[in-house]
Amino acid sequence: MIPYILEWGSLLLRWLHVVSAMAWIGASFFFMHLDASLRSTKDIPAGQGGSSWQVHGGGFYEMRKYLVAPEFMPEELTWHKWQAYTTWLSGFVLLAWIYYAQSHLYLINPDVMQLNAWQASALGVGALGLGWVIYDQLCKSPLGKNENVLGLVGLVAIVAASFGFTQVFSGRGALIHTGALMATWMAGNVFLIIIPNQRKVVASLMAGETPDPALGKQAKQRSTHNNYLTLPVVLLMLANHYPVLYANSAVIPPIVFLITISGSLIRHFYNVRHSDHAKSPWWTWAAAAVALWFTFWVAMASSPTGREQLGLSAAASVPAKESHVPAPAKVIEIVTSRCSMCHAAEPVWEGIQIAPKAVFLDTPANIARQADAINLQAVLSRAMPPNNITAMTDDERTAIAIWVKNSK
């Protein structure tokens, strides 16, 4: 019963999480675009804001921005904050639901560190909190005055954090915690900097004072960080559904580095293009493509069989093609003894009640049908069995490789 509840809970939480993230990211993209498209007008001189005309849903909008604040407070003011809060809160509960409540399956790899569920969860939550404090202090330090230097230091911090996570968690746990850390920076920026600053501005306007321009500047800096973090964070959140990306913990830091670079570059393209079409930095697409190509390469080169396929090491001696498509008894025995306790109509592994991803590896016919998936997960990437929980040997993986090759 409990695995079913966990599965349904995760579905509903993910639904909420994805929808609120769409709203938050949509708003972030919209306002970055709006800022870039603002032009000074007669009544709003350059440097003090601007206006922009837009058409949407059957009407025309005249958007006006007042840097720092308008002269008077409107009676009604729409705040954009719940998209961010809901995304973070639902994301945190989802993280706890999957990685803390089912830590033995997803978060803990005893070969990396012998942790119990409480220790692993405390490490995860503690790292997210500490990560926010470090980031916030970096932004407030003299480094924060130079955007480029700060960006570089931030990148190093992200990669270092991912390395730290690989020293305590499973590959998948390390990847999701790196994404969660960046997402915590983003939500923290909204909750602890942007909204409080805006409240101070409103309060001083109400009191008839001139608000401090530094408040708006700081908020803009943090919202720009959020904008650049968006694409890398989304890819990291998706990456934990792709075992090929987290199969080998040693290459997670370079993978995180490359993903962060490529996502930020694509964001940069749009930020520049929206302010001036003529200056569209097309090179960012080429650079992002190169970074993604390297990501693929690094992930593949991290497994012995992947290296062979890339021609980086000599191919293992695979016998010449034979014409038997059905799995030989040996392969059936290997897959049955290493995989089918989870991947069966009635899994016997504790905590698994339905075959993960509906992948059934319990009969010779099912095993033959899944040959490519078995090859990808157990041979090319070695992502399965998770954390090699059922102790599959290298010889067994080679036997599968030979079988797959022969059955083509």
Which residues contact ligand HEC (rule: CB under 6 A)?
A: 105, 241, 243, 338-339, 341-343, 349, 352, 356-357, 359, 361, 373-374, 377-378, 384-386, 389-390, 392
- Name residues whose C-beta falls within 8 Å of residue 143's C-beta, 6 or more positions apart in sequence: 149, 150, 153
Query: Least separation, in Å, of the C-beta of 405 and ligand HEC?
Result: 16
**Which residue, 29 or 97, is less far from ligand HEC as judged by CB?**
97
| Type of residue numbered 212 | D
**Which residue, 52 or 353, is less far from ligand HEC as judged by CB?**
353
Query: Tokens for 330?
Result: 């040996």
Give, as one character, the DSSP assignment of residue 376.
I
**Which residue, 314 or 348, is less far from ligand HEC as judged by CB?**
348
Give, as one character, the DSSP assignment of residue 142.
G
Q: Within a 10 A sphere around the Cβ of 275, how many other Cβ atoms?
A: 14
Query: Least separation, in Å, of the C-beta of 349 and ligand HEC?
Result: 5
**Which residue, 176 or 194, is less far from ligand HEC as judged by CB?**
176
Rounded Cα gap, residues 344 and 126, in angstroms = 37
Beta pairing partners, 240: none
**Which residue, 196 or 356, is less far from ligand HEC as judged by CB?**
356
**Which residue, 17 or 343, is less far from ligand HEC as judged by CB?**
343
Rounded Cα gap, residues 355 and 45, in angstroms = 63
Distance of CA 180 to the CA centre of its chain: 7
- SS3 of 188, please? helix
- Of all residues in the shown chain, the one whose CB is closest to ligand HEC is 339
Q: Which residues of 352-378 are buried (b: 16+ CB within 10 A; e: fewer)?
A: beebeeebbbbeeebbbebbeebbbbb
Query: Least separation, in Å, of the C-beta of 391 and ligand HEC?
Result: 10
**Which residue, 45 or 356, is less far from ligand HEC as judged by CB?**
356
CA dihedral 165, 23, 292, 172 (to 10 degrees): 30
Length of the chain, in residues: 408
**Which residue, 256 or 384, is less far from ligand HEC as judged by CB?**
384
Query: Residue 265 — φ and ψ, nearest 5°?
Result: -65, -40
* Closest C-alpha to 21, from 186, 261, 239: 186
**Which residue, 51 or 398, is less far from ligand HEC as judged by CB?**
398
Burial class (CB in 10 A: 0-12, 13-18, 19+), 200: middle
Query: Least separation, in Å, of the C-beta of 381 and ligand HEC?
Result: 10
Query: Least separation, in Å, of the C-beta of 343 and ligand HEC?
Result: 5
Query: Least separation, in Å, of the C-beta of 372 and ligand HEC?
Result: 9
Where are any strands of DSSP class E within 194-320? none
Query: Least separation, in Å, of the C-beta of 388 and ligand HEC?
Result: 9
Query: Least separation, in Å, of the C-beta of 58 and ligand HEC?
Result: 42
**Which residue, 219 or 392, is less far from ligand HEC as judged by CB?**
392
Query: Least separation, in Å, of the C-beta of 335 and ligand HEC?
Result: 6
Where on the phi/psi map is residue 199: left (φ > 0), alpha (ψ -120 to 50), or beta?
alpha
Query: Least separation, in Å, of the C-beta of 271 and ligand HEC?
Result: 33
Rounded Cα gap, residues 337 and 399, in angstroms = 14
